[in-house]
Amino acid sequence: MAMTLSNSVPSACIVCLSASNQFYLPSSPFKSLKPPLFWPWQKVKMGPLTVSPMGFGTWAWGNQLLWGYQPSMDSQLQQVFNLAVENGLNLFDTADSYGTGRLNGQSEKLLGKFIREFQGEKRIRDEIVIATKFAAYPWRLTSGQFVQACRASRDRMQIEQVGIGQLHWSTANYAPPQELALWNGLVAMYEKGLVKAVGVSNYGPKQLVKIHDYLKARGVPLCSAQVQFSLLSMGEDQMEIKDICDSLDIRLISYSPLGLGMLTGKYTPSRLPQGPRGLLFKQILPGLKPLLVSLREIAEKRCKTIPQVAINWCICKGTIPIPGVKTVKQAEENLGALGWRLSSNELLQLDYAAQESPRRMIQNIFQTK
């Protein structure tokens, strides 16, 4: 029998959800008088920066192949950005490779445009942190070329300084000699004041310690590390990376906290997304029933949605999740992951359900050891 799990909210929870809806659309002439989604003291230190306990990822902004982006979506993406910022989110993750074909760099361009056109307080705009990643393309062989990449990103966004400059992936798996150029590129862009802080993405435990020690010897603190971290990606490597980050004062950013959408409850083995994701979901979804059942059970009890529970799990594990958003509806739902915390028993239930589910998320091919 086909598994049927819905992300819809039970009718019994409608009143509860309405009462707990703490965010507002910036287009409204009246601001909400309810408490904020999180208080200033609940923000997170990330090196020299202070960021919201959740950010938004912008991989889909410009990606036609996987996410079906069209320029006609830009007005809604701007609404998404405004909604997030008006409700306290100040961390946005992007990359110089986000955007397919002629739209390469589109995500950065849109973020820069939205910042410039934001109509709110200047103080709020000035607190926005853009974390962009620089691709380890095979033709980027020197530290100077990574500095040029950083300048190009800065120009696309039309900002004076990047919040966090990150290496998108390590070349240790396939081109070890190039790795030192990546590291020296981070050092150079930091020393030149092009970035406020530096970070890495897709670095495994061993490489993470190596680059941390190398940067520390050069007087450059490593402030963040991105890794695929979710209820679908909680293997030994993820747990070891989390322990290393805690011990070295590196903030762990969890990307794909909803497993590309598999943890939304929206899809089933008989209802799949179009495109490449559908092929992946077809392989993995049939083995996720124990996990999705537990997510739904907790969501109903909490008067939350399945994605809100899955994202909150990442927050409770001490990470900063950066779920992707394309629509105002998605942004509103993701914001509902803030302002509350799963109990210890609920966390244990989800951990156990994830372990009992026979399938896991396919790991990024660029993830190192």
Catalytic machinery residues = 98
For residue 198, the surrounding DSSP H or E stretch is strand 195-201
Name the residue with tokens 């020690």.
Answer: 213
Q: How far is Cα of residue 298 from the mean position of the Cα atoms in its chain? A: 23
Residues whose CB is less than 8 angstroms from the CB of residue 1 and which lie 6 or more positions away in sequence, other chains included:
none
In angstroms, rounded to a whole number, what is the distance separating the alpha carbons of residues 87 and 36?
7
Length in residues, the chain: 369
- Tokens standing for residue 200: 């890495």
Q: Where are the alpha helices (DSSP H) in the chain?
A: 14-20, 64-67, 74-86, 106-117, 122-126, 143-157, 176-191, 205-217, 236-248, 276-284, 289-302, 306-316, 328-335, 344-356
